Structure 1
């Protein structure tokens, strides 16, 4: 057990540095016996037919005995498994939650960006949401006017800046959210999983912007599951686990300690899912066929084609990765395959029942518990109540949420939502399984577990489609990859070759921007 907090930080690091944040024995508690405040819970209670036993008042502590100091000019990273208290700490630092014990001093105005653009109004355009978010942060309209075009340009949204946000992909929301938060001159910027759905090119761009920010801002706090990102961009790292600080200090050292606790992959007798071995299992039975699919959105002067003349076939036994930059059309394609969207032209043929997990926790009711949401999602998927009861223990066990399954979803971190969403969809063994950035916020151990589950699913499922910005996951899990750019297919074939070409383009663009 690692108990390092301030004690292991060197005198040299602390000497003569301005203190921006000081937490002393900080604790945040939640009422364990919450009262549901949503009428849908009545329906779920009826379906589950289990009476709740009355209990006396009790508290759970997602954070307790937190001690740390944040210094001016630093980028402090926070890592830890899903449900470790990272989001709760960010909410306490930003003033959304008030500590139940201890002291917290924050010397500066906090701008926080939680997950992928939370707080945006999906009916408003990107431009309108910039003003809305700016004013929510207490920034005057006159000041927003000075930065609005810089935000537009940095986000790279182009004409989509004038479109309603309900047409945005998760990556586009992330880009706009970061652009707003970073340009409106924050004193303390907190990014809680805000860049997990961003593509590699924008991630590098955001890293440069964060370094520029520190010339004016006091400090930046980044919550991330990307250990590579933490190592390359953070001055110090804090490892949270079960609401307490395990380590804080040098990023390399902290990551070594954290990674040592991640369970090692168990050896399996089954085949590994790689290109050479999987090709033999691909059956010549059509699962999905797209013929000249196009979807367009009318703009002021022309039509923007989110998808244009898309053609591909997916056969039984394939695990297909969908890659591309933010706004390329990946999420739109997923919505077509799940028949949420109808193409303006062309045809889509689906042979089988499709289960889709679009982003993390899409479709969850925040007021209901995790348990209630399991049954609610089953109902929405048309699955009999008996089947849901039969699979419920497996879902809870795989999600690793334990007693938190009885907590309302609104108390879940984004990673916990991702784990529950994946567990529901994967345990119910769909014919066709579509994952659109659903594991972008999962911790390292769960991503590994989910990858193994996807491999096992191929014994029963007809096909799996994975949208991801994690190139290593696409290489490891997918038998094939489709690279989409500006609504058209740029490459369709070997997953390793697709990733190689995509990375080369990102590198070339980066070099071009430096010139």
Structure 2
């Protein structure tokens, strides 16, 4: 194999037995009890022949279910091919999803050591890198907090910061930057370019086509398990956009019509002087300095952080409210307050209607159960009886586009497939107040466009829709109003176009 080749695949194929997909014991028991013994195979990858070179940043694009995540797992050694072979030269560091490998009950600091040791690094070496990792992540105020209090974007920041500082031979990332804000995505792209100058190779699965255009020197389009196009981003991206019914003019934007503001005077959400505080903790080790994080250390209160403070806003019936801002701005905390997961420490909030929330990729799913079973599970959790779910089931499946995968355990779904299924369930049942917190960012551009149109349609039936997103074009086109948040406060409340302009200018000045 040539010296400049990092990965070489010839005739690569990976197949799944539908409904079985390399089962563990729990999935086997579920399928046996439900009398599901399918004999059809699905080739997630088929006859893939490609060489990936050192020094390349490869942006991997394609629709959900195309085989991108499977290819990541094969390169990382997590799956063995059923056909062909693959040669990988060098150590591989893998980020397969937002915060994969983290422990929710441990602090960010403890997870740095945990994750770093999983990557084969010594504790002493991690100590040397600690300040650099925390500094790059921008999470110094939150590093001693339990990870369960982190938003998806904060987890994404921490995971990338650890993996990038490792300086791996091959870095494989599957949607791991999908929830990063504009400023961090820019810094992450520059960091990748610096890493690759040291003869590494990055394999980045993403639906952020701007990231591919700006930071990748090669684009790989995978569809239905095959490589559809391979070449320079400026050559491949227009082909993909055209196939996904997006604009083919070279602008990587969704083909959406501007939402007409048609909301009513009646207020469905009213928040006044809303505040939520967290007691920041600090890890203090014993005098010997030999205690490891989580072993013999004492967590002491450090200071009070107001994740939300002095937040005043209302939402009228029929509005689509977009919420933008950097990671750790308080957006996820606000969503949790609206859903009743968190109680405010100050101020009041009044909600007229039932809230239905999609707070993360596949939140509420039992990953051992098939997609079919999770439709019923989530529906019943929302108080819908089985007869109504029976009636809605075909509509959910058709909208999700996952008919071939409904008998697969959800654990084998990519982030994008989980986002598709979660949104389809929630939107088809037509909720009163629909809250979406970053859960669509892993969807491909075709599904994002579909979901955006669905949100627009819900205006006539739902009381209100609230969407937290880093896709500012979505906010500009789909939302009737926007909030720009930072450091727990609302910096702007009003016209989406103006909110987007102000936020973009803020990011440019910060970088």
Find out whether 1:132 has 2:114 as its counterpart: yes
SS at match of 2:10: strand
Find out whether 1:290 has 2:271 as its counterpart: yes
SS at match of 1:145: helix
| Uncovered stretches (5+) of structure 1, i.e. residues with no partner | 1-13, 266-271, 511-515
SS at match of 2:49: strand
Determine which of 20, 24, 27 is the counterpart of 2:13. 27
Distance 1:378 1:40 in 2: 24
1:274 to partner: Cα distance: 3.7
Q: Check the 8 A contact 2:279/2:304 in 1, yes or no.
A: yes
1:203 to partner: Cα distance: 0.7
Between 166-175 and 225-234, report the one with greater CA deviation: 225-234
SS at match of 2:148: helix
Aligned to 1:8: none
Distance 1:341 1:114 in 2: 29
Distance 2:26 2:375 in 1: 16
Aligned to 2:202: 220
Distance 1:249 1:31 in 2: 32
Map 1:54-453; keep pairs closer than 5 Å: 54-55=37-38, 57-263=39-245, 274=258, 277-278=260-261, 281-299=262-280, 300-453=301-454
SS at match of 1:160: coil
- TM-score, length of structure 2 as denominator length: 0.91
Residue-by-residue CA offset, 1:222-266 (whole Å, 9 max, x unaligned): 11111121111111111100111111111111112222212369x
Distance 1:33 1:425, change over 3 A: closer
Distance 1:187 1:254, change over 3 A: same
Distance 1:45 1:23 in 2: 36
SS at match of 2:52: strand
Distance 1:474 1:41 in 2: 44
Aligned to 1:463: 464
SS at match of 1:213: helix
1:31 to partner: Cα distance: 2.4
Find out whether 1:483 has 2:469 as its counterpart: no
SS at match of 2:341: coil
- TM-score, length of structure 1 as denominator length: 0.90
Distance 2:37 2:372 in 1: 18
1:382 to partner: Cα distance: 1.1
Distance 2:415 2:183 in 1: 23
Residue-by-residue CA offset, 1:129-181 (whole Å, 9 max, x unaligned): 01101111111111111111100000001210110000001100000010000
Q: Check the 8 A contact 1:230/1:237 in 2, yes or no.
A: yes
Q: Check the 8 A contact 2:18/2:407 in 1, yes or no.
A: no
Q: Check the 8 A contact 2:19/2:407 in 1, yes or no.
A: no
Distance 1:41 1:347 in 2: 47
SS at match of 1:92: helix
Q: Check the 8 A contact 1:273/1:479 in 2, yes or no.
A: no
1:364 to partner: Cα distance: 0.9
Distance 2:241 2:167 in 1: 35
Aligned to 2:253: none
Q: Check the 8 A contact 2:65/2:414 in 1, yes or no.
A: yes
Residue-by-residue CA offset, 1:288-316 (whole Å, 9 max, x unaligned): 11122111111233101111121111010
Distance 1:258 1:113 in 2: 24
Aligned to 1:10: none
Residue-by-residue CA offset, 1:18-69 (whole Å, 9 max, x unaligned): 1111101111122224268449986x999xxxx64644x4432111111111
Distance 1:39 1:351, change over 3 A: farther
Computed over aligned residues only, the root mean square deviation of the Cα atoms, in angstroms, reads 2.0
SS at match of 2:308: strand
